[in-house]
Amino acid sequence: MKRIGSLLLSIALAFTLCVLPAAATEADPTLADTAFAAAQAAQQYGGAQSVQYALWQDGEIVLTGHVGDYSRTENRALTDDILYGIGSVSKMYTTAAVLKLAEAGKLELDAPVTRYLPDFTMADPRYQDITVRMLLNHSSGLAGSTMANGFLLNDPDTTATDTLLEELSTQRLKADPGAFSVYCNDGFTLAELVVEAVSGMEFDQYVQQTLLEPAGLADTYFPGGNFDTSRLAKTYYTTQDTQALPQETVGIHGTGGIYATASDLAAFGGMVFCEDTILNEDSRAATMADEYANGLWPEDDEDSVAYGLGWDSVHWYPFAYSGIQALAKGGDTIVYHSGLVVLPEYHMAAAVLSSGGVSTYNEMAASQILIAALGQQAVTVDQTPRTLPAAEKVEMPAELTQYSGLYGSSTQTVSILVSENGTMTAEGSPLSYYSDGSFRDEEQTMMVKFIEEDNGQVYCWQKAYSTLPGLGQLPTSSYAFMKLPDNPVSKAVQSAWDARSGKMYLALNLKYSNIVYTQALPAAGLATDSVNMPGYMVFDRMVDENYAEGAAIIPGLAGRDWQNITMTKKNSVEYLSTCGGLYVDSAAAESLFGGASSWSTIQADGYARWYQVGPSAAGKTMTVQLPEVGGFAVYDAAGTPVAASWAFGDTSVVLPEGGWVVFSGDPGSRFLLTLSQTEEN
């Protein structure tokens, strides 16, 4: 039995409230008006450069539209044939591809992955229990996302997929396979490899032949495919940038690499999951099953996450309030965002894509389009705003103070204090105790409880309703944190990690085309607190002097992407590896030579060459003669990029004092450098 206590956690709502344009509040808007207003709202909330949308109904696209601009500098119209990266909505193509193979009798969903990928091994014997189904419902137990070189610019390299089996061979699982569903990108990259192994075809080719062509989808593509890349919506790193990024190429195609128009994506959702054209009835029903409920999950499942096979939710809101099954999948790359919502019962699907923005807003916009379309058929969807169940402030049972302690997710830790005066405090204002055993804020916009699960863990459960005018309301009901158990370690282990606290480690194995170079200094940092968090390195628990792993065993989203860390040393230089990335202690970086000319050569190991800008080079203009294969980037002392040759064509830059310079390329690539005094304006 589950024992429910109460606890309060100060957690900000996931959405920001904004004022919707007046057009979205007009009385009795038409379907087209509603769609346009919803797209405007999604653009406004997320700061998107452009938004494109489409509605599929009963076998055809019945509505398309767009808001925003194609480019910030080019005189080109934004049209409905512009392409966008659909990110993780690509997982639904992988799901459909796997089910096609199952229909043909070529694989079984509940067979072990090792049957189809005999080279798949891990440093954990439980991997042999991972089934194909578990890859699709996120319950494999894999750590999460091994894709250091998964997001590139103008480079269709698939190294992130091709090396996954090698990377997994040294990893351990976070849980028994099937124990609970927690979002996992690596599971779908493995599924992509299963499709290739079973079909005997490249993944892209198989999807094209069995899904795209039969469905008549002519505007869906893969990185490296034969299409006009100028049709891709322009993307920008920040809302202030005027120089567009090159084409984003995601090398894990089955996990997040597909491009499409909103029309093609909506038609994919409709043709594949509403009709018999592609998948049979049994396969479609299988994708819509409550897979999330097969393992650990909060009893209150009124949440925007409810995994099926591939789907983020098989009970998407607000449709679930009216007994209408709605399937939803969102996708976010670094620069593109997408939302697909499908109503199988009504043979409808809506897709909303954007350059910049947020996938959740796109999904909510798609929902508003579908609600308006249902209204034309006299079908009403209950959008009555929900509030927390009624309760009153009461005196708190004294035993609830036992829930004070250190809590963590896969990305953060928080100290929670439950006081005898009936309040719970985390990192914000105190929450007060209520008669239903919850802690709530004064406005009662959210509630939090402590729940002791059957697996022996204590969870901080939160429930809230987030409302965005023009896009509706979305509920959340999930485990946000797990109480971290004491992790006693030896003095030697604690000291080893404490010695690394505050250090910075610079990325070595990121390809020169990696989009990370345009974002910020590609580095990893470590932090410990032996007084308040003994045995922990931020959100990882120390295992020994050189290995720390995730500790948050949480279903849904809060426990995703463990960043297990392994430390090694070679020639007295320390290295850090995590999630497929390799990093070196920044203290090993040389000072950039301040003379008139020099060069830097990529060695046989292919690792990037790092330099710090010292007094002799600071303020000078560095001009770089680039090799045929390679690129460089420069960052100021705060880690902000000031030049990136592959992304922006930079060949010269004024060197910032205390900044960093990195050269990356194939082994043997040589960069010729010329430093000169910078001319004053």
Q: Can you say how many angstroms the Cα of residue 587 is from the centroid of all Cα atoms in its chain?
A: 31
- The two structure tokens encoding residue 28: 């009795």
CB distance 354 to 443 below 8 Å: no
Query: Would the pTM of this model clear 0.85, i.e. be above it?
Result: yes
- The two structure tokens encoding residue 40: 């405007």
CB distance 433 to 423 below 8 Å: yes
The architecture of the domain spanning 44-375 is 3-Layer(aba) Sandwich (3.40)
Ranges in the chain annotated CATH 2.60.120.380: 589-677
Instruction: Please name the helix (run of DSSP H) or strand (run of DSSP E) that holds residue 642, with its range, or none.
Output: strand 641-644
Q: Are strands 84-85 and 220-221 parallel, antiparallel or unpaired?
A: unpaired
Q: How many residues does the chain have?
A: 681
pLDDT of residue 29: 73
Q: Given the structure tokens 């000319």, which residue do they identify?
A: 597
How far apart CA 629 and CA 606 sit, in angstroms, is 12
How far apart CA 488 and CA 534 sit, in angstroms, is 7
The hierarchical CATH code for the domain 589-677 is 2.60.120.380
Q: Given the structure tokens 């910032």, which residue do they identify?
A: 656
pLDDT of residue 16: 27
pLDDT of residue 28: 53
pLDDT of residue 40: 98
CB distance 675 to 595 below 8 Å: yes
The parts of the chain modelled with pLDDT lower than 50 are 1-27, 681
Tell me the Cα Rg of the chain.
26
Q: Compute the C-alpha angle 137/140/141, nearest 5°.
A: 130
Ranges in the chain annotated CATH 3.40.710.10: 44-375
How far apart CA 421 and CA 401 sit, in angstroms, is 10
What are the start-end ranges of the E strands in 437-539?
439-440, 446-452, 458-468, 472-483, 504-507, 523-525, 536-537
pLDDT of residue 541: 97
Reference 360, options 46, 31, 90, 136; nearest CA is 46
Instruction: Please name the helix (run of DSSP H) or strand (run of DSSP E) that holds residue 37, with its range, or none.
Output: helix 31-46
Largest CA distance in the chain: 77
